[in-house]
A and B are shown apart, each in its own frame.
Chain A
Amino acid sequence: ELDDLEKDEL
């Protein structure tokens, strides 16, 4: 589900 594991949420 999370391709690049970049998290924009705080």
Chain B
Amino acid sequence: MNVFRILGDLSHLLAMILLLGKIWRSKCCAGISGKSQILFALVFTTRYLDLFTNFISIYNTVMKVVFLLCAYVTVYMIYGKFRKTFDSENDTFRLEFLLVPVIGLSFLENYNFTPLEILWTFSIYLESVAILPQLFMISKTGEAETITTHYLFFLGLYRALYLANWIRRYQTENFYDQIAVVSGVVQTIFYCDFFYLYVTKVLKGKKLSLP
């Protein structure tokens, strides 16, 4: 495992903990897209089914379980415990616009036409677009709380670090996973606009608000 991979995983973990901590401390999930969080829970559920079929390492197993737990607890906080604070009027992205093409593509373009492999492929494609309901919500309301922007920054940074990981793996192991790389590039591109706003506004102490 190279340094980009471990930093990527830690960035991913930090993003999820930041979001959970923010909701827990403020007892409020306004500004968070429940739809994006449902999609992430679905991503982890369909990707980590191999927890039941093969063991890779302790690290791998522990991280998968932690990611799954974080995703489900977040969804529970939004739709259960703190649902009264959930801003559902602004979380209006139509999920079928993402799910239908992603399901179709995962049947068409995969490594192996087996249920587990198709679900893994589905999870990779879905992850690349799962943040869109959240970004749509921010563009609709025109603003985001600072901790929400930190969450988005680390979530985007994780995928950008994975790109560096894949370049390193290609150089050192001659390994590449075409589905993950192409989806990862797409996913990272969705964050570029946000990265720009984060650096020019949030890091200078201003709240992220769109004109």
Chain A residues in the interface with B (C-beta under 8 A): 1-2, 5-10
Contacts and interface: CB of A to CB of B under 8 A. Distances in A.
Contact of A5 (B1, B67, B112, B165): B112
A7 B33 CA distance: 29
Given A6-B56, A8-B60, A10-B63, 16 more contacts: A1-B175, A1-B178, A2-B111, A2-B177, A5-B111, A5-B112, A8-B56, A8-B57, A9-B5, A9-B162, A9-B165, A9-B177, A9-B180, A10-B9, A10-B12, A10-B64
Question: 5 tightest CB-CB pairs across the interface, nearest first?
Answer: A8-B56, A10-B63, A10-B9, A2-B111, A8-B60
Contact of B67 (A2, A6, A7, A10): A10
* Interface of B, helix, strand, loop or mixed by DSSP: helix
A10 B57 CA distance: 12
* Interface of A, helix, strand, loop or mixed by DSSP: loop
A8 B59 CA distance: 10
Interface of B: 1, 5, 9, 12, 50, 54, 56-57, 60, 63-64, 67, 111-112, 117, 120, 162, 165, 175-178, 180
B117 A5 contact: yes
Nearest to B64: A10
B60 A10 contact: yes
Contacts of A2: 111, 177
Contacts of A5: 111-112, 117
10 contacts: A1-B175, A1-B178, A2-B111, A2-B177, A6-B54, A7-B56, A8-B60, A10-B9, A10-B12, A10-B64
